Amino acid sequence: MDWDDARMFLTVAREGQLLAAASRLGVNQSTLSRRLTRLEQALQTTLMVRGPQGCALTAEGQALVARLDRAESALLEGEALFTGAAAQVSGTVRVGAPDGFGVHFLTPRLRTLAERHPDLTLELVPVARSFSLSQREADVAVMVGRPDRGRAVVSRLTDYSLSIYASRSYVASHGRPETEADLAHHRLIGYVDDLLFTRTLDYVAEFFGGLRPDIAIASALGQERAVRAGVGIGVLHDFIAQDDPDLVRIMPLRSVRRAYWLAYHESLREIRRVQAVVGFIRAEVAAVPGWIAA
């Protein structure tokens, strides 16, 4: 496998589109398309399905992206051993992220980043809102859905899924709904509608149809706590809930998929501390399976 072809494939996977990836790489779209075809022929597999709406990774493509992310991080760390780049990673980086990703996933992993770069100060702002990179509300932002590009460097971080859950205590007391019609007889938990900063977070409409939540909570972790406490039935991130023995997945054949996108202002492209944080987040996400529910 040619590393140059692999690097181009990784860029397309992060950008989600051939045109955007070609622009970032400084090559024309037809050249990039040929290089991707050459890589697929070398590996004897299909890595992505190309369409008018963008490029969708196959299962083989997703597996290769995870490994290339780790390889890229290892190469950068190896380079740092000889260039002194690791010692130059200092200063403050503010990361904005949804609370489910920021608190549940990223926070427990910050020890690794702190030990790797002791002179780095990280500010994590895990709140359910959109961050303006142009106004420097965050240096690096993890966003739900693809953001408007503007002057931002944007890449797809990972897909994730959501399903309906209840606590075992709730099911024992109120029964387990088997159909959408059954949900009308249960207490439903969802978002505060007028505080949704993007309609992609309106999971209630997709799962509950015309039913509105009886209890509305403006954060993903707040909803998770309420469901866990037996308050009612809610839509939760599978990467948070699916391995919790106290939670029961309701109507397990139903789920929705969303994507996290990683973005930072293009003026920060050459800033070592920002790239160190961006590389760390990508590598940590790539190293953990289970973003999509089984």
**pLDDT tens across 64-88, in order?**
988 887 777 667 556 555 655 445 7
Range(s) of the chain covered by CATH 3.40.190.10: 160-257
Beta pairing partners, 256: 162
Residue count (the chain): 294
* pLDDT one-digit tens code per residue, 216-248: 998 888 999 999 999 999 999 999 998 899 999
Q: Tell me whether residue 141 is exposed, middle or buried, using C-beta atoms within 10 angstroms of its C-beta: 0 to 12, 13 to 18, 19 or more.
A: buried
Which residues on adjacent β-strands are paired with residue 190? 216
- CATH number attached to the domain at 3-83: 1.10.10.10
Measured distance CA(227)–CA(177) in Å, rounded? 15
Q: Read off the tokens for 47.
A: 């890595």
Cα gap 234→223, rounded to integer Å:
7
CATH 3.40.190.10 is the classification of domain 160-257: yes
Q: How far apart are the first and last CA of the chain?
A: 31
In the chain, % of residues over pLDDT 90: 43
| Residue range 14-59, pLDDT digits in tens | 778 888 888 878 888 899 999 999 999 999 999 999 887 788 889 9
Least confident range from 152-166, 172-186, 262-276: namely: 262-276
Residues of the chain with CATH 1.10.10.10: 3-83
Tokens of 108: 């427990």
Distance CA 112, CA 126 (A): 19
Name the nearest CA neighbour of 246 among 166, 177, 163: 166
